[in-house]
Chain A
Amino acid sequence: MQWQFSNDAPIYTQLIQQVKVGIVTGAFPPGERLPSVRDMATEAGVNPNTMQRALAELERDGLVYSQRTAGRFVTEDNTMINTAKRSLAERHVKTFLEAMLRLGFRKDEIIDLISKEFGEEEADHASA
């Protein structure tokens, strides 16, 4: 997994996001055991206490669960994983829209640009 950090947000919230991405994309598959806190911290290059804090928060949300001696596991609840996926997507959309509106684009222009990016404009011309 690729770990990347920005300078303007706490590290533990960024870790939460990135582990979520890992779960949603299957880098940490449902029902699988997560590596130890120390191993995950070493891999991400972060403080073990910070990683612990992030995992504890994910546990409160239910995306991961602990078994006393065996360690931490990814949830097998696909509904929960899909909800996480959806909320990650919504965040991306929100950030994108904020940037576009700041640049001065209107809703229809934004939709138009996205459609073009998907190569749908030819289809539009054909039907017109």
Chain B
Amino acid sequence: MPVLECKGLTKRFGRTAALDEVSLTVEPGRIVGLLGPNGSGKTTLIKLANGLLTPDGGYIAVCGTAPGRESHSLVSYLPERTAIPTWMTARQLLDFYGDFYQDFRREAAEEMLDHLGIQPRQAVKQMSKGTREKVQLIMVMSRAAKLYLLDEPIGGVDPATRDYILSTIIGNYNPDAAVVISTHLIADVEKVLDEVIFISQGRVALQSTVDGIREEKGMSVDALFREVFKC
């Protein structure tokens, strides 16, 4: 069963269709890049997949069920903006995630925090922006979820932090789960991805494997993206 499936999925905001008849499938064990220019509908799709928005038409399912209360236990979501409570300490954050999510792997999270040199007593508000992003990603990846939805996980962080985030995603790879990463920083993530989905003005422009594109076109996904979305 696919981890994420959409058929004719449509979402309108007023008169504009943010997503227009989107059909796609994400299989378990895949790391998929959701790629598109600003305003193409990436975040809308991610929000529909975790039930923060409801569709105006078509079908969307996570592991066979419509997004909602049940699917929250299957989906681990990294929002575009850092959303961890800043007044908490690292330890309180671990307790918080442990209380909320049965699938939270506390030991894995502790090990990753320790690796970063973060003390349990350190407060989130004392951390730099980059460190907060790392901590939030650690929390999200420490859940044994079926679908990880990462909305712009590498936007606005320095290259070293970017590398750390990508290697954390690879290091937590689980063949039974899928990861969807939305970004426009393609060159940085392309090696980490199995597949890419190009979305343009709310429609799927292309779904292919990274090596399929490189083999057929003799160019990187980044180069193809620049060609397809040339301004």
Rounded to whole Å, the gap between the CB of A45 and the closest CB of chain B is 6
Residue numbers of B with Cβ under 8 A of A are 29-31, 163, 166-167, 170-171, 173, 191-194, 210-211, 214-215, 218-220, 222-223
Q: Does A5 contact B (CB under 8 A)?
A: yes
Query: Which A9-35 residues have C-beta < 8 A from chain B?
Result: 9-12
Q: Is the CB of A5 within 8 A of B191?
A: yes
Rounded to whole Å, the gap between the CB of B74 and the closest CB of chain A is 21
Rounded to whole Å, the gap between the CB of B108 and the closest CB of chain A is 13
**Interface SS of chain B: helix, strand, loop or mixed?**
helix
Interface segment, A47-55, A69-77, A88-96, A107-115?
A47-55
Q: Is the CB of A42 within 8 A of B171?
A: yes
Rounded to whole Å, the gap between the CB of A46 and the closest CB of chain B is 5
Residues of B within 8 A of A7 (CB): 219-220, 222-223
Distance, CA A11 to CA B210, complexed state (A): 8
Residue numbers of A with Cβ under 8 A of B are 5, 7-12, 38, 41-42, 44-50
Q: Which residue of B lies closest to A7 (CB)?
A: B220
Distance, CA A49 to CA B210, complexed state (A): 12
Q: Is the CB of B193 within 8 A of A47?
A: yes
Distance, CA A46 to CA B210, complexed state (A): 11
Give which listed residue, B31, B192, B218, B223, contacts A45 with CB less than 8 A.
B192
Residues of A within 8 A of B30 (CB): 49
Q: List 14 A-B contacts (CB under 8 A).
A: A5-B191, A7-B219, A7-B220, A7-B223, A8-B219, A10-B215, A12-B211, A38-B171, A42-B170, A46-B191, A48-B173, A49-B29, A49-B30, A50-B211
